[in-house]
Structure formats: C-alpha cells, structure tokens
Structure 1
Amino acid sequence: MAITKILNIHCATGGNPAAHLKNALEYIRNPDKTEQCHLVGSVNCLPDSAFEQMLDTKCVYGKSGKRQGYHVIISFLPDEAVTPEQARFVAEGFMVDVLKGEYEAVYAIHTDKEHTHIHIIWNSVNLITGEKYNSPKGNWKNHLQPATNKYCEMLGLEIMPAEYAKNPVNMSKEKWEYEQSFKDYILNDAKLCLSYAGSLEHFIFLMKRMGYEFKGKDYLSVRIPGMKLYHRLDKLDDIFSKKELPVILKYGYGQYYRRYQTKGILYVKRANLTPMQKRYYAKMYRLGLIEKKCYQCHSAEMAKEIKRMQFLQEQYLFICKNDVSSVADLIRLQVEAKQTLKDAGNRQKEIYKERFIRKRKCKTTKDFREYQIWSMDSANELDGLKAEKKQAKSDLRMISACVSENLYTAFGYVDEMEELDYGAEDVLPTMYDYHKRDIAEEFEIVESTDRVVIDTAKTEEDAVAISEGCCVAEAVFADTSTDNMIEKLTTEQALYEDVGEELMQSFHNNHNDDDLGYIEAGNGFELPTDTDKREYNTESYEVFESTTDVSEKMAEDVAENDRIGIDVSITDDDIAKTAELTVEEQAEQIATAIQKYYKSYDYLSVENKARLFNFGIDDNSYNLQLHAGVLRKLGIHRYGSDIFEDYQSIYGETMKKAEKQKSEYECGYEDKKWERGRGR
C-alpha cells in the first residue's frame, strides 16, 4: 500500500525567491539516497539542469513570484519490499495521469530507509499554457491518491482503503470544534469509571463497557463512537497521568471524582400532557435512564444526545409554556413570531423617521427641550421593541429546533416503565478473569508485586515460631518451580490459653465487672462458641453482654481506650465460609455485630472499624459496596464527602495493619535466622 502526500514549495522571503525549490531538487537527487543517482529521472527537462530550466519557464511567462512548485512523496509499507523498478513504474505513471506531460518534473526513488519512497517535484508554471498548477480542495482525495492506487493495483500491491480516501482525518473547523466540545463529556465519564475502578484493567473495562474506543498502548486515548478524534485522558486531567493514576487506583481516591453528565436534572412531569409534550418527556426520560445505566446501555454511543439534554429540556419547557400539542401549533407560533418581528421592525423605522423630522424642526431652546423629552420616551419604546425582536428571534430558533427534533431517539434502548432514580447505586458489570487477562495483554499491563523471598526448606518451622507472639501473621513465599506463583501462608493462633491470665488481669484493671457484665468462669473467660464466631464477618471483634448501660459505659471507655473487650480470632473454617457470602450478607452480619455489641456506629474507633470490615487491599469495588451496605443497614445517612472520609480512614488503617504484619514477619524471620546461625 502506498500513501501519497503533497507539499507546497513557497517563495523564499529573502534573496532568491526560488531558493526553496533549488534546495528541494538538490535533496531528492542526493547520491547517497538514490544509488549514485541511478534512480533519478525527469520529464520535459534534464535532472542536472532542471532548476535552471524551471526558472527560464517562469521568466518567459512572468510568473517568478509566489508559489514555486509542488513536492509529492509516495511511501510504501516496509513489509511490501517494493523494488526500485516497481517504484519507477508507479512514479512515471503518476506523472502521466496528474501532470499530462505539461510540466517540468523530476522524480527520485530513495532506498536509504526501511521503506522505499518516491519524491516528485514539478514546476508550478505550465510549460505549454503558462498557467500555474491549481491544487483545489479535494485534489488529494479525488486525483492524487487514486492515481497512486491505480498503479499499485496494476503491480498487485495493496491499495489504500476507499473509505479512508472518502473520509480523511482532516476535517473542517466547525467539525473539529464540535468534537473538541466533547472533552468535558469524556472527562466526566472517565471520572465516573475511576470512582468504581479497583485496578487499571478494571478502569479500561468499565470505559469499554460504556462504549468508548481505545487507541495505542503508551497512553490512554479514547474517542466516542462515530467520531474521528481521540482524546488523551492525561491531557484532559492530571489525575489520569502515569504518576497519579496508579496511586488513585491503589488507595481508592477515585470516589472523590465521581461526576454525571446531566447532574440528575429532569423537570418534573406535569399532569395532562399533550401528545408532543409526552414524547419530549419520554425522550428525556430514556436518555436519563441510559446515562444512569451507562454500562448496560453503552451510553457513549448516545453521547451526542445526552450532551444536548439541557437544550432538550429548554425545548420541553417552551412547548409546555405555549401549550403545544402538535406540529400545527408550532407552525402557528412561527407565524406569530414572524409577524411580531415584522411589526417591531416597522415601528422602529417610524420612530427613527420621526426622530429625524423632529430634530430638523428644532429652532429654539424650547423646541430642543421638547425634542429631548420626546427622545427619552422614544428611547424607552425602542428598548421594548428590541426586546420583542430578540424574544421573537429566540422563539423562531426554538420552533425550528422543535420541528426538526427526532423524538424517537433511543426508542427501545431501555424500558420506559423503569424508575429513574439518580440516588440509587450504579449497577456495575462483572469483570471476569478472562476480561482482565485480555485487557492486560492488549495494553501490556504488568502488575508489580512486592515479594519476600524465604528459604522454603524452613518454611513451616519459621511460620510456627513467628506466629507464637501474634494473632495473625502473613508470609509470602517464592515458588521455586514457577516465578509467577506466589503462595500465601496465613497462620492463626488463639491466645486464650497462653495469655489468658494476662488478658484477664488487664481487662479487670480497665473495666468494672458490674458495668460490663462479662461472663467469668473460674480464672478465665467463657469464650464464644464456634457458632457464635461464625455469626460475624470479622477477623476479630469485642464481646459484651446486652445490658442497658453498656452504650453509655462504652462511650466513656472508647474515649479513654481504643481497644474494648476481648479480641477473638476466627478460625480457618470461619474464613472459608465467610468468603462464600455475598456482599449483602456480609454487610448484614457486620451491621448486626455493631448493633449487638457497640450499640452505635459512632462509638467505634477506626481500629475497630478496620477489624470489623476487614477490607481487601486490592479490591476497592468490593470495599466500597461493603461500606455502603453496612451504613445502609444501620440507617446512617451522611453527605458524600463524610462517607468518603470515613471509608478512607478505615482503608488507611487496613493498609497500616497489613504493612505492620509484613514488617513484623520480616523482623521475626531475621531474628530466627540469626538464632539458628548462633546455635550452630
């Protein structure tokens, strides 16, 4: 496939006006690029004296100024392996079809690059008629590229697709400005996806489910279906840069940036709507549902209509205000507006004419004073007429838009009987492993995971030794057979027997037996049974009797001490069963635990919230759903910023806990390694 490109050789500003033409001819005849000029040819001139002959032609017809010539470049694909003979055939055929043998031209075939390419330069002045070559708009699409395709096809080479020639990337200024106006729309959708994304793959998956098309791998460039321009997200906002985006995805800051296109604006439906008003309201309702169900309905495909939502609502208010029921009513309003415009214009002419006559009749000071008084009154009347004309013109534009509006857009996309609630939670599509794998391969996404390399021969011995002084310890081991495998060892050990006496003594020192009413059995505590422990989806929680004064006492204790009660660690069986529960069931269990043992969510410290929620480190979508579900179960209503701050504090505490466990494990491993060496 060969691509044709045309350049204009302009007149030099100083010195020889044909200097650029001379430099271009010397460049294409470079011996190092043309196999010692064996791949250079010409038409109606000699290659070595082409510049002088072109100047003589210009002087003969007196056209030495302005545009000096034209430079065409025909480039072949590197993998086509086009020979110099084939390139010469294309060049000579191109000049015959385009120049008709009426211009002095020089061509050269360059083989110094991976791809063979042709340079053709011809004089701007016709050798026969003396007229300058005219390259009108559409010349490339209609003449130059088709000529190249013709001779490439004769050689059996691939030709440029016809649809590309019919729809070049270049566009008019109006079209370019129109597509540029969608930058904010794309940015709002990207921020909405970012608020739910738990990883880069998840973000790309959500954007694609909206209907956006991606381009390239180095940057996230997207475009709306049906448009030509791609927009780089990092140019729209710095939060999508390579530096900030990973941090936002890792810590879940995307929730702060959530945006909607229409901001939930939808005027309240009136009673007794006319047929046209019903169709307008139905279209707005459909677009609102599509925006709300953006992932299920591929809202990017309807971006042009959703972006017009505000103007559509203005049309709806206009037809409601004027009680329009059909197109006939719009025609009637159009006639009235035109008549108003005509009457106001006629009245303005009368006032201007009368002003001129009165001013000419002013002979004395009294006459001029009367003219000034009349002029002030006429000025007020003119202002009113101008306002009438402005309103009439606005009505005419609105009527024209209403008449041409397609009221059946997106008909059948969604169920119009479905309730539109902007306050409801968005329904997110599920990203499966194969989705994530395909996106990672397409965009060459490499996950970086910190590993702790451990001697696998002493794995079990070290894990047991390290876990003696803590409730839960995590160790990450490198798999010697596969570099990409990471095995996770979680050892849980209850401290009820080993440190029971210390816990009991500490508990007695900080709390009153009568107030808390805990169950004491001998010298130890009566711990919850396995059934009780499975009732809650927490790694550890605090145990209290349900007494009337627990909440008041607890509030005092929380103020004095962050930790309350007894830490109870769940078993491996509990963890396995909890993992099988849905987010809704887990939220129900956590809410039940808070109501039973804490009485109020406000009494919980950040540490206790982190233990109860047990957030996943790399699954923000799950974390956000769980957090919102618990607050909903507890009947807690807060502003969006307050909910986000609460979630961030819990997630931050979870991250601190995970890093602390990792550091404790590393320290413990080093100590055990040192002790083994010392024992030898």
Structure 2
Amino acid sequence: MPYCKCIAIHTTVEKSLRYILDPDKTESLLYTTSINCITDAESACDQMGLVYNQSARDHFDSPPPLEGKGSVKAIHYIQSFSPDDNVTPELAHKIAMTMVRKNFGDDAQAVIATHVDKDHLHSHIIICSYSLSGQKYYANKESLRQFRQNSDGVCKAFGIEIHPNLEGKGRSVDHYEWEQRKKGTSWKEQIRQIIKELIGSVNSLDELLQALEERDYEVKRGKYISIKAPGQERFVRTKTLGEEYTEESLNTRILYKDIGAGSTPMQDEPSQLRAAYVAVIGDIRILAEQRKKVPRKRIITAEYSADNDLDVYKLSAQLSVINKNNISSIGELEGQVSRRKDFYDKQRGEINDLIEEHNRLVSLWEQVQEFYELSKKDELSDTDKLRKAVCKQAMERNDILNSADVDTLRRNLNSLSKRISGMKESLGKCRQQYEVYSDIRDTYYKISKGDYLSNLVEEECKRREQTKKKLKR
C-alpha cells in the first residue's frame, strides 16, 4: 500500500515544481502530467499564480514575511509505494492522476510526476491551493486523512492490496530500511549526508526542512527539530546528529555560507566594536584548541580544530562584514539594521504594486488573445458574442486599438516581468543582509555583556555532565 504525506508550500512553488519535473527521475519526463496547466515548471507556476491571485487575498509572488511562513500557495502530496506492491511506473502514474480527480475534483490545477529513480516508485502531486472555481484546499491533518482514505480506495480499485491494520493511516512498509541495510548506512549518517547535500542550495532553515520533506523525510518542528528518514522507525533530533546539526548551527551554516570569513584585513583605525570581536575570537580559539568548548565543526568532513570551529567561523564572518563595511560602533551597526529593514519594507511595497500591475496586464493580454481568437470564427454563439464584447470593451478602455498597441502591451508585459524578477532577487539579498546585520548586533550585545564566552563554557560543562550520565547507565 502507498505511504502518503503532504507539504505546504509557502514561497518555493517553482523550485518544488522543478524538483518533481526532473527528467532524470521521470524517464525524461515520460511519467509527468498536468491538469488545468502546462507541464512545465515556469509555465505551471505562472498559471497557478493567476488562479491564486483571482481567489486569494494575497499575491502568489508576494515576498515572504519578516516573521512566519506566510500563506500557503500550493500543496505538495507524495504517494510512495513499496517494492512489495509490484506497481509499474505506468500504474503508479495512473493512480496519481486518478487521485487528483478523486480528491480535488476536475477544476484543480495540478502537476503530477512519478519518480522511478529509486527501488520504490513514488508520485509527486503539486496542486494550487485554490481551484479554478475558487475553492480553497487545505494542508492539515484532516485533509491528509481524507487523502489517505481516498488513496486506499483508489488503490483497491486498481487491485492493490491494503493491509487491514493500516487502512486509512497511510503507513508504508519499510522498503527504505532494506536499501539502507544493504548499503550499510546508518539512519543518522543518512540524515547527515542529505543535510550536507542540501544546505548549500537553500536560503533558510524552513527551505531546508521543506527540501527534506520533498525527498520523503518526515520532519517535526517543535522545541527541537526532529527528522525521520524513509523507513526509519523513530525520529531523531538534529542535535543528536552532532553539534553542527543543532538548529542554531544549521541557521549559522545557511546564513553565512556565501559570506566567507577572515578575507578582509583589519582597518588601521581601531574601534570598540572590532576590538571586542578580535578579543572574543582569540579566546574562543584557545577554548577550541584546549577542548574546553563544544566541538562544532564548520566543515563536516574535516578534522576538528580551531580553524574548523563553527563558532570561530561565525564570528570571523561577522568581523569580515564589519570590516568590509567599515562599521566602527554599535550605533553604526544599529543604523545598518534599521536602514536595511526600511529598505526591505519599501521594496516589498514596490514589488507588490508591480505584481498587481503585472497581473492586470496578464489578464488584459489574455482578453486580447481571446478577442482575436473569437474574431477568426465565422459564426459565434450568443455566449461567444458576449465574451467578445467584454474583451473589446477591456481593450478600448486600455487604448488597445490596433496591432501596434498589442505589440506595445506585449513589450510592457515582458519588461515588467523582468523588472519584477530582478527586484525579487534584490529583495532576497536585502533580506539576507538584514538577517546578517541583526545577527551581528545580537552577537555583539552578548559579547559586550560577557555572555558569549560564559555560555560556551557552560554549554560544554553540561555536555560533559550528560556524557558522564550516559556512561553510568
């Protein structure tokens, strides 16, 4: 029987579509289909955006909020079969297509891709969170329960046996466990390797966790982040994978992955801010060399040393930012944080206005295309005549009177699309800069209060106490 799960997508719809529409995973896109949209990541994303914008009180391309995840733009379902089910790729894909009709109706926008690159076949279904008729789909426990029930029913109809103790629960047999045992790979090492593989391509911890879920890993978000590999019986907390996998360490590795550290020399003029950083980096290096602090690695595959310590790296990266921007005081640092926040908020307002104008022009362009299509017909029904009149009215109101005006509309739409794309990239960089400067500010306050070193020493003491207790058991 298939294992079913769902993932809410807040900001990475196109990225998720590109992942499931990977030619290497789908026999050169042989096992891919779309419903009410085009089977192409960019086109499907654009078309889902149009439907979403008609029904939601939000914009599909709206920037992420400074806090929280924002609204759900699409929902990603995964239906995974065990090798014991003896399901062919054709049948798995047919079941997935049937599931969309059964679970969401005929007016859902969906992209379906069946991956055949693993021993277990699994189908990915990404649907827009609104249907063509404006119905909202939800990603919660109840909707997943309903999806699993429908999955059981569809699979029964296709002759796939459902274990009586597992009906409606969507629990899969542990087909991954056999694969990992054959490779001699431990669950923890498997999770470490996938995180290492993904961390360079994500921009936030939420993106990392979503990427893990898309690859069939289960994630629990609570006081601690817990992950379960496909086929694994129990969740493991990331902090038990090693100090470099705690939530704080993962955030640091993601935030500073593109910044670098120690590449900029100190400025000639000393400052209290720089002096504080230089002093604490020196002290932490000593603690690292004497093994008096928690050994968090920056580079996982290298031996641990002061040069490969994540805390040293983080502070060095922050000092590099301070030097590159010639920040000499905490007042200047606060100013940088404030200016970047103001710039980010302003950019968000501007891009939202541009997206609204873009959506208006897209709608107008569609009406222009429809007008010319209807004009080619020899006979029109009363409905078609009404649609043509509505389209003509929209064109006249926007001064589109001839083919030259149509060409101008097309150029304006393309130009606006490129401008929005550039601003979205700029907005992402601005957000990262804001987070970096905020992190530097918060770190400096810990350094200036003397909390930074004392916290590291206290953390190591606690770690050693826990180790002793485990050895006594």
Q: Specify the TM-score bucket, using the shorter chain as the normaliser.
A: 0.3 to 0.5
Please say which structure displays the higher CA radius of gyration: 1
TM-score (norm 1): 0.23
TM-score (norm 2): 0.32
